[in-house]
Amino acid sequence: MKTAECESAGDSKHIFSDAGGMRGGSAAIQFGGNLAQPPQLSTKLFDHEFDHPYGFMKTMAYFLFNRASTSEKNMKPAEVKKITPILFAEELEPCIKFWTERMGFQKTVEVPEGNKIGFAIVEKNGVELMYQSFASAEKDNAATGEAVCKGPSFLYIEVADLDAALAAAKGAEIVMPVRTTFYHAREFGVKDPAGHYVIFAQQGAAAQ
């Protein structure tokens, strides 16, 4: 293994190393010291790096990494509390009925749009699903209102009992018959009344 060193503004050294030394070998870069300050490259580093087919790329990657701002390095990740799908449909009433009557959900929110429902939320055991009509979405935001009409959404839902879910979905359009997957799940798929694809899955069922 070859290594080359470059002096940094801090107390430690930055080491470039390559295993194999030729195209096809693996390469690694180890960083130390004050990464906010770029190193002072020695002639030794340049002699080594430009002899290597990937030397210039590794050197540039090192400098780009060190030039990242301190604020970006210290940025606190956003706290995500919940993710809720929003499905869009011409009419929401059949979709709400699908979830409440077949799957045991409760309608927790309903917002009218004219003489129909424009927005609704259904919920069961902490699992939440939102529906919004095309007309409501268009009024809400014209930029996204056009996009919601372009295609169906896809949901993947884990259930405790796939056979119970299959019985509840009886009469819905089957788009994927019951199958057993290589990751030990049993699954089937249907369309909801708005044409969205809903895949139900029971994990570990295939191994039982």
pLDDT digits (tens, 9 = 90+) for 136-158: 999 999 888 889 988 899 999 99
* Dihedral sign computed on CA atoms, order 88, 98, 192, 164: positive
- pLDDT tens per residue across span 37-82: 544 544 444 444 445 555 666 666 666 666 655 566 688 899 999 9
Using DSSP, state whether 140 is helix, strand or coil: helix
Same fold, 81-151 and 152-208: no
Residue type, 67: R
What is the domain partition of the chain in residue ranges? 2-73, 81-151, 152-208
CATH code of the domain made up of 152-208? 3.30.720.110
CA atoms lying within 13 Å on the CB side of residue 116: 15
Distance separating alpha carbons of residues 206 and 182, to the nearest angstrom: 9
Residue type, 126: G
| Domain formed by 81-151, architecture | Roll (3.10)
Q: What is the mean pLDDT of residues 4-22?
A: 44
Distance separating alpha carbons of residues 122 and 108, to the nearest angstrom: 6
* pTM for the predicted model, two decimal places: 0.65
Mean pLDDT, the chain, integer:
79
Percentage of the chain lying above the pLDDT 70 cut: 63
The length of the chain is 208
* Residue from 111, 112, 117, 74 nearest 94 by CA: 117
203 pLDDT exceeds 70?
yes
Name 54's Cβ contacts closer than 8 Å, sequence gap at least 6. 18, 23, 27
